[in-house]
């Protein structure tokens, strides 16, 4: 990358901040049992799902919002949020050509072309706009392989028995405050089912777009890989710039049966608020994968660069013997952003293995915490974990914290933990500059060097994007 293109790149602070002017159907603000019933009836859901929602809602009412994270924000008024907003169009269209051109244009602008001619050749995309999925590409081609990839709303209608069998089995509706809220009001998200022995022939991807200013987004994603199946899935997220905060409380559940493998990557670039911390997304997400079968593998890779608040711990329950869990994370905070993120690796099965590589970068006045749990149950004989948590500080007003929790009830388990903190020094920058490398490029070179172990885990098409995204996010944060 030449210095010129870096400059061009960093000259646009947040290029996804536009709002699409489209007629939207919204329900009234506030949360009640009636609202839960209304969402369910709008989606014409079967009884089991309504019951699931109502149980979750009743449980949520008994819970208190958690306050243990190293995050500070003013209280969220749950009655001041709209729980369902959908662009006004009739049925979900059979053909993409019938989708409102404004929506197609929106995704075009986001770099996610959906129309037949322009779509990415090797990536199937589910596009979610506010509360609903508007299009899923390559459904038929995937169906030829027995792969189901559609919105969760469609899955509820077309494959209710699959949804009923798996939903809430990894993240129960009473799991935590935000998971219970999501279970009560979730509107859309993606559903992936890879049948026995099938290697999914293309990358799957969901692109989440929040458009409305007063709406919460509560998506729910469920991915099931049967025996010997494998899939790589990527989600991307953006939102317009508003001076108010929007709540995003998602739940993602992954199930891997014997010998199955799921790779789940996230590039999160929700609007982060301005440099004074006004506006931005509150991102409270519960992501968990269950390695239910022997020798199964679940790998989380996340690049978290957006949101005013990030509260997120993608986790693995390693139940099957010899199963493997991985967590690779880059979390970058700048200006007034706050992130409290990490993972949980729960070792239940024999010889289960987990790897955690976390890279936190804090710039501006931001605060960035890694919080992780490695738990080894008595039955997890021969379990092993390796954790590496590195922090990089840019400037002298940012904060980095590491909270590693280790609980082992298995004396033979091998647990390794390494942690480091570094600061980009004036001398390092001067060294690179004195070799003809411009200031911004020198910073982004050092940051991407710091993150390399994680970027190597991303699908190839997105690794370069992630690099650029970090350069963009750090604009003006040094010096």
Q: Which residues bind other proteins (CB under 8 A)?
A: 2-3, 422, 425-428, 430-439, 441, 445-446, 448-452
Coil, strand or helix: which one is 97?
A: helix
Question: For residues 66 and 323, what is the distance between their CA atoms, to the nearest angstrom?
Answer: 31
Q: What is the DSSP letter of 215?
A: B
CB of 457 to other proteins, least distance (A): 15
CB of 267 to other proteins, least distance (A): 20
- Residue 176, Ramachandran bin (φ over 0: left; ψ between -120 and 50: alpha; else beta): beta
Closer residue to other proteins in complex, CB, 72/436: 436
CB of 439 to other proteins, least distance (A): 7
Question: For residues 111 and 132, what is the distance between their CA atoms, to the nearest angstrom?
Answer: 19
Question: For residues 3 and 256, what is the distance between their CA atoms, to the nearest angstrom?
Answer: 44
CB of 431 to other proteins, least distance (A): 5
Q: What are phi and psi of 454, to 5 degrees?
A: -85, -45
Closer residue to other proteins in complex, CB, 226/390: 390
Closer residue to other proteins in complex, CB, 122/433: 433
Q: What is the DSSP letter of 16?
A: T
Say if residues 77 and 16 touch (Cβ distance below 8 Å).
no
CB of 162 to other proteins, least distance (A): 43
Question: For residues 142 and 150, what is the distance between their CA atoms, to the nearest angstrom?
Answer: 10
Largest separation between any pair of C-alpha atoms in the chain = 68
CB of 469 to other proteins, least distance (A): 17
Q: What is the DSSP letter of 308?
A: S
Closer residue to other proteins in complex, CB, 405/431: 431
Closer residue to other proteins in complex, CB, 64/427: 427
Closer residue to other proteins in complex, CB, 38/437: 437
Say if residues 104 and 96 touch (Cβ distance below 8 Å).
yes
């Amino acid at each position: 990358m030449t210095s010129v293109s870096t400059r061009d790149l960093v000259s646009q602070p947040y290029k996804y901040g536009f709002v699409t002017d489209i007629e939207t159907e919204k329900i009234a603000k506030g949360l009640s049992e009636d609202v839960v019933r209304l969402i369910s009836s709008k989606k014409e859901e079967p009884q089991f799902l309504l019951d699931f929602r109502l149980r979750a809602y009743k449980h949520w009412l008994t819970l208190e919002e958690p306050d243990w994270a190293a995050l500070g924000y003013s209280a969220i008024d749950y009655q001041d949020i709209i729980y369902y907003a959908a662009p006004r169009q009739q049925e979900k269209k059979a053909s993409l050509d019938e989708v409102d051109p404004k929506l197609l244009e929106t995704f075009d602008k986001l770099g996610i072309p959906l129309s037949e001619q322009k779509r990415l050749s090797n990536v199937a995309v589910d596009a979610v706009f506010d509360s609903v999925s508007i299009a899923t590409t390559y459904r038929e081609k995937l169906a030829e392989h027995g792969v189901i990839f559609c919105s969760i709303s469609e899955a509820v209608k077309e494959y209710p028995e699959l949804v009923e069998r798996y939903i809430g089995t990894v993240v129960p509706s009473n799991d935590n405050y935000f998971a219970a809220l999501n279970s009560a009001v979730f509107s859309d998200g993606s559903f992936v089912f890879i049948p026995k022995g099938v290697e999914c022939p293309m990358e799957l991807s969901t692109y989440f777009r929040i458009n409305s200013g007063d709406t919460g987004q509560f998506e729910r994603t469920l991915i099931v890989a049967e025996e010997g199946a494998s899939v790589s899935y990527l989600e991307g997220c953006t939102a317009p710039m508003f001076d108010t905060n929007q709540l995003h409380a998602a739940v993602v559940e992954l199930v891997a049966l014997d010998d199955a493998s799921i790779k789940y990557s996230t590039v999160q670039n929700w609007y982060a608020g301005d440099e004074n911390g006004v506006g931005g997304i509150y991102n409270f997400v519960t992501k968990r994968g269950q390695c239910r079968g022997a020798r199964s593998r679940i790998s989380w890779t996340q690049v978290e660069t957006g949101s005013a608040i990030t509260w997120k711990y993608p986790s693995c329950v390693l139940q099957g013997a010899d199963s493997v869990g991985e967590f690779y994370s880059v979390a970058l905070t700048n200006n007034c952003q706050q992130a409290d993120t990490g993972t949980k690796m729960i070792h239940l099965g024999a010889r289960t293995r987990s790897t955690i590589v976390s890279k936190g970068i804090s710039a501006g006045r931001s605060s960035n915490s890694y919080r992780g749990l490695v738990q080894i149950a008595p039955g997890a004989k021969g379990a092993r974990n390796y954790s590496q948590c590195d922090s990089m500080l840019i400037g002298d007003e940012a904060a980095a914290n590491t909270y590693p929790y280790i609980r082992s009830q298995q004396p033979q388990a091998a647990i390794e933990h390494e942690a480091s903190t570094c600061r980009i020094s004036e001398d390092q920058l001067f060294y690179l500059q004195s070799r003809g490398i411009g200031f911004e490029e020198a910073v982004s070179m050092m940051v991407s060097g710091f993150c390399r172990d994680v970027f190597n885990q991303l699908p190839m098409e997105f690794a370069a994007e992630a690099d650029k995204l970090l350069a963009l996010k750090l604009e003006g944060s040094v010096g």
